[in-house]
Each structure stands twice: as structure tokens, then as C-alpha cells.
Amino acid sequence: MSTKFFRIFIPTLLFCTQIGAQNPTPIKKGPEIQFDHTKHDFGKIEESIHYAIHRFPFTNIGVTPLHIQQVHTSCGCTTPDWTRDSIPPGGKGFIEARFETNNRIGSFQKSITVYSDAVTASLVHLDIEGEVLKPRIDPNAAVIPDMGKISFSAPSFSFLELFDNQQDSQTIRITNETPYTANFDPINPSQIPAFIKILSYPTALEPNEIGTFKIKIDGTKITHFGFGAIELPYTTDNPAALFNSIVVNYVRRQYFPKMNAKQLAKQPKLEVDVKEINWGKKEAGDLLFTDIHLKNTGKTELKIHDITQDCGCITLKFDKKTLAPGEEMPIRVFFDTVLKKGNANYNIWIVCNDPVSPERNIPIKAVFDAKVIQCQTCPK
């Protein structure tokens, strides 16, 4: 009986084992990203370092090569960098965050969003934080003379790379270098555009006291691209600095994610039939005109955000701001040359959603004779 029992049991056990071998637990195939850490605290840092830089290492723990597709930051003050090549299984890469400290006194918290082709974590959020310290004041510094001024740590707020999907903030220090108390009047709300918000502003500064003037600018609310400047005037009761102002400079750019050749081939593409308009020598007073032609040679819809000129003497007329693939549109350019003398150099600026070349500049040139007025009463 025992022998028969074992003869029956052993094949049954083998049969069960074979079934288990034929139905293993499914294993995901593809790249996988694993970061050593996802948050970094810079702690207290000096503004004078200009940039605080940290790298987030990661490993591809998957079974096929990993590609980092895009990296976005929550603020224009933070610039990302990352491993551009594909990362093989078991290979390592990095995401770098570069935070600009200039004029950003105080605590900060910024995020970096990483997009990859990882199977289970195609989107990962990384965080940086810290505090930028005010510069130390030397107690043995020379005494400020009787006559002084309200001075600033920077000549202006400068946001010279502000993307249309980002917000940014800066802090400028205000020092009362006069022997008088300075009481600051509130800034008139009508002087502040909707895309600028004042976060801190001094109400009063004693002699030698330092205050902060902090603003936030929202690139999503600005309605144009390119350079812009806003003057924020304010007044005090300080007899040495009654009327003051600070300028906010910005250059608003379009944000485009990193694209490979296959992705770029599917995007819109702007072609302009001229590189410049040169009328050569002309008589002042003539009304000059010509046409330039825009064409979308890409695969998707071309959107023209801005077509502007830098002189009121130039008028542009066009029908639309959207071109389907293969569609063409003329722009009639009128140039009023009244009172023009010598060399004339102006520009037409086109901004569109072509990711390869989103901004085009078309120079306009002409030369006008400077007329010499003869003196009728001068001796011959």
C-alpha cells in the first residue's frame, strides 16, 4: 500500500509544480526610475553665492533603456539640467536644480517635475527649499554723511527670461542713507499691472535701516511676448528723497518642452519669404509699401501671437493670426517717411508657436538725403 501511495503522489506533485512554472507572476518590462532622494534643503545660504546648485541622482532599475523626456520647474529662478543620453538598465543619471539667489532674500520652496518613459513613475516631483540671508552689515562701517539718498541693492527688478507658464519673484533691499526717517506712502494700485503683485514694501525706515521691496511677476497673465518695462513710482516724506521709482524689466518667452526629431517633425513651422526689407535711397515724404509672406510648412496649426513694429511710422495690415498646414498669408507693410533723414533702421517682430524658431526679426532699412538749408543772409 505504501509503495502504491508514493507512486500516485509523486506524479501529482510534479504536475502541480509544472502548472506553477507555466503561470509565473507577471513582471513589468520596461525602464524604471528610482531617485536616491526627492527633496533637498539648502539651509541658510548667502545671497552672494549667486547660484545654489544641487543634483538629484537616479538609477534605471528597469530592464530596458530609460529616457528623460522633459523637466519643468515651478519658477524662472530655477534652471534645470539633466542626463540627455539614454540610461541603460542599472545605469545612473541626474537631475540638476540651479536656483538663482540674486535679489531673492527670504525663504523659498521650488519644485521640479521630471517626465520620463518609466513604466510605473513616468512623472516625479523633486523639491528644493532654503533661505537666502540678508547681507551682513559691518558695525564698524563709516558713518553716512549728512546728505544721503534712498538706495537700492539693484538698479531694477530684472526678469530677463520669464516663460509664459511660470511665475517668479525678486527682492530688492532699500537702504535709508539719509539722517532722516523715511515714511513710505503706499504705491498707487493704478500704477501696478495685473501681472505684478507687491509682496513686501516698507512703511518706514530709520536712518541706516534696510528694508525689503519684493514683487511677484506672473508670466501667465502678460498678454505680449518680448521685452517690457514697468515703472513703479513711490513717495516718502524724507526731504532728501521725496520722489522715487523702481523699474521692473522682463523678457517674456514661450516655453517649449524638449523634443526629439520625430516630435519636431509634427510641429508647425513658419517660413518668411524675405529676411529684410531694404528700400535703399529714397526721398523723404514718400509713402513706401511692400508685402511679406508668411507660410506654415509644418504639420499642425501655426498660431501667430504677435506681429509688431518698433516705430509708429510703420503700419502693418494682415487678415489672420492662425495658419493651417500649407496655408500662406501676406502682410502689407507701409512706411511713412515724412521728416526722415539719413539712415533709417527699424524692425518687424513676429512671435509664433514654431518651437524651432518662435521669434523672427525682419529689419527695415532705407537711406534719406539730409537736406541742407542754405543761409540767405550769410555773406557769399
Residue 377 lies in a domain: no
Measured CA to CA, the distance from residue 18 to residue 13 in angstroms comes to: 9
Q: Is residue 307 part of a domain?
A: yes
Q: How many domains does the chain have?
A: 3
Residue 290 belongs to a domain = yes
Point out the domain boundary residue: 108, 133, 158. Answer: 133
pLDDT, tens only, 27-53? 458 999 999 999 999 999 988 888 899
Strand partners, 246: 232
Q: Is the per-residue pLDDT at 162 higher than 60?
A: yes
CATH code for the domain in which residue 70 is found:
2.60.40.10
| Tens digit of each residue's pLDDT (9 = 90 or more) over 288-312 | 999 999 999 999 999 999 899 888 8
Last residue of a domain, one of 100, 133, 166: 133
- Write out the residue range of the structural domain in which residue 126 sits: 33-133
Please check whether residues 70 and 120 belong to one and the same domain: yes
5 domain residue, yes or no: no
Are 347 and 364 contacting, i.e. CB atoms less than 8 angstroms apart? yes
Instruction: Say whether both 337 and 361 belong to one domain.
Output: yes
For the ranges 15-19, 29-33, 225-229, 232-236, the lowest mean pLDDT is seen at 15-19
32 close to 120: Cβ distance less than 8 angstroms: yes
**Average pLDDT along the chain:** 85
Same domain, 87 and 160: no
- Alpha carbons 114 and 73: distance in angstroms, whole number: 9
How far is it, in rounded angstroms, from Cα 65 to Cα 87?
5
Q: Residue 222: is its pLDDT beyond 50?
A: yes
Q: Among 230, 253, 276, which residue terminates a domain?
A: 253
Residue pLDDT, tens place only, 180-212:
899 999 998 888 999 999 999 999 999 989 999
DSSP state of 248: E
Pair 215, 282 in one domain: no
